[in-house]
Amino acid sequence: MFGYGVYDVLIIAGFLGIQHFFSTRNNVYWGGVIPVIFVVWRTWVFFTENQSFLKYVLILLVGLAFLIGGWHEGRKALQKRRKQELDKMKSRDLK
């Protein structure tokens, strides 16, 4: 798993899509679900497959960078959507 074949790329893209979806929910904590699952999964793999510590840390940092970056972008998208709705409501009130 995760030899970076076609299926692996689709799985990774799916998780990033789910992360973006969770990040755009009203509750900010939904965006933390996938990163927590990722950390638990990588730690489990580290202890069960006797990976090198350097490989574990590098994969963990890169994965978390993408997931937290997605979380941040999702929050910005939610704020932008809320601002657009408020602007639309204000423009209708002024008429």
* pTM of the complete model beyond 0.75: yes
Per-residue confidence at 3, pLDDT binned at 50, 70, 90?
A: low
Which one-letter DSSP state was computed for residue 24? Answer: T
Q: For residue 57, what pLDDT is reported? A: 93
Q: How far is CA 20 from CA 15, 43, 67, 91, in A?
A: 9, 23, 9, 30
* Alpha-carbon gap, residue 78 to 35, rounded angstroms: 19
Dump pLDDT digits (tens) for 57-67.
998 999 999 99
